[in-house]
Structure 1
């Protein structure tokens, strides 16, 4: 197990850095986890009853009402310190930086990730986008106040939320890019994720197979902790600040 100083030195000297983020990163922006979002009117539904192809085929209007509400919620939220520091880290590492997020709130992009010379993939999709049911093309949604559901593509086709639902697979190109980046990484950071959802949870192993180091930041032990080269028990924002010697 590395010390904090050794972990800092490894990250500072790494030419290639791969990052995986989960719900713990967004929690600091006030965004509830997937299951915690089931409040009020929606408390009578299980997430599986709304986030699956079968649910959508049964009642697309209901599913879109739920996603429109979630889209409005995340649009009101603001990126936090973890998002900002990851965008800073990308600018420092340039083309050697890769961010894979399991979050669908778009906060990484709003903080500048993907615009500092590195690459970002949203493994589970984005609440701010919808996909043409006929052509598969992806389009940005209008602002929540202007959103009419179900939305139509420029071709006039109905669009579905651009989210990976229960029973669906991750986009092959995104998963392959992430696996390659983690395999090639000198250092991988695993931030705010439980390590329960595969195949994303398996990315850390790709770094270790490739000879790199893996650092975890989480408020509690996870399914991945025992495999880590260094684990920091902290919030993503303050943990990253300590790791990057910021502040």
Structure 2
């Protein structure tokens, strides 16, 4: 029998429960810096040292963090279903937990890339990318992260997966940041869609989506236990 196709879209809320702070929880500030200062191409051009420091600290935090019950529950789902995880997170906690099919919408902290050629991507060895570390074309290495104002290379692949989903599970995202927020609209008519978040936003268009306003570590294991029983 063909296995049902489940697509999971995760945002900062699932990682927050592993102790990784989110911009949403800090009113868009990091140590007094506005998000656009440290997560935009304009910020990088203005002060690359500050941006590099921000991501070096985020990388250290991610390396020290452990997956939580929600991450581990998603791994169990692969025993019975075809599962693709589309994540807006850059922390690699899904990989640490053991999930296999992961699309990184916004990049990943364990990679650096050339600041003049997006195709030149390198592993980050250790915790930091240092100023003065150059790509083979002689430009400064930057985090392989999609910043505000930049294209999202994996968005079409993500939309294609959702367009073939039998079930879409959205976890820990406010559905306010585009283009990721628009991905739910690619779900086919027969697809069952579920949203799990500690705070369901009033302004999101949640037509035909079952909502659970609970922490991911509570609601995700419970949902996946049900799905495994019903398989």
TM-score, normalised by the number of residues in structure 2: 0.86
| Counterpart in the other structure of 1:219 | 198
Distance change (3 Å), C-alpha of 1:102 and 1:135: same
Which secondary structure state, in structure 2, belongs to the residue aligned with residue 73 of structure 1?
A: helix
Which secondary structure state, in structure 2, belongs to the residue aligned with residue 184 of structure 1?
A: coil
Separation in 2, partners of 1:169, 1:30: 28
Separation in 2, partners of 1:18, 1:218: 17
Q: Report Cα offsets for 1:116-157 as digits up to 9, x if no partner.
A: xxx21110111221112244221121111x653353336654
| Counterpart in the other structure of 1:6 | none
Separation in 2, partners of 1:57, 1:220: 34
TM-score, normalised by the number of residues in structure 1: 0.81
| Counterpart in the other structure of 2:15 | 26
User: Paired residue for 2:109, among 119, 127, 146?
Assistant: 127
User: Paired residue for 1:139, among 105, 122, 125?
Assistant: 122
| Counterpart in the other structure of 1:71 | 59
Separation in 2, partners of 1:82, 1:212: 22
Separation in 1, partners of 2:134, 2:96: 25
Separation in 2, partners of 1:151, 1:29: 31
Distance change (3 Å), C-alpha of 1:157 and 1:90: farther
Gaps of 5+ in 1: 1-12
- 1:147-166 aligned at under 5 Å gives the runs 147-153=129-135, 157-166=139-148
User: Paired residue for 1:80, among 68, 91, 115?
Assistant: 68
| Counterpart in the other structure of 1:183 | 163
Q: Is this contact kept in 1: 2:3–2:80, CA < 8 A?
A: no
User: Paired residue for 2:34, among 36, 46, 49?
Assistant: 46
Tell me the matched-pair count. Answer: 221
Distance change (3 Å), C-alpha of 1:14 and 1:226: farther
Q: Is this contact kept in 2: 1:225–1:231, CA < 8 A?
A: no
The structure carrying a bigger helix percent of its residues is 1
Which secondary structure state, in structure 2, belongs to the residue aligned with residue 193 of structure 1?
A: coil
Q: Is this contact kept in 2: 1:187–1:214, CA < 8 A?
A: yes
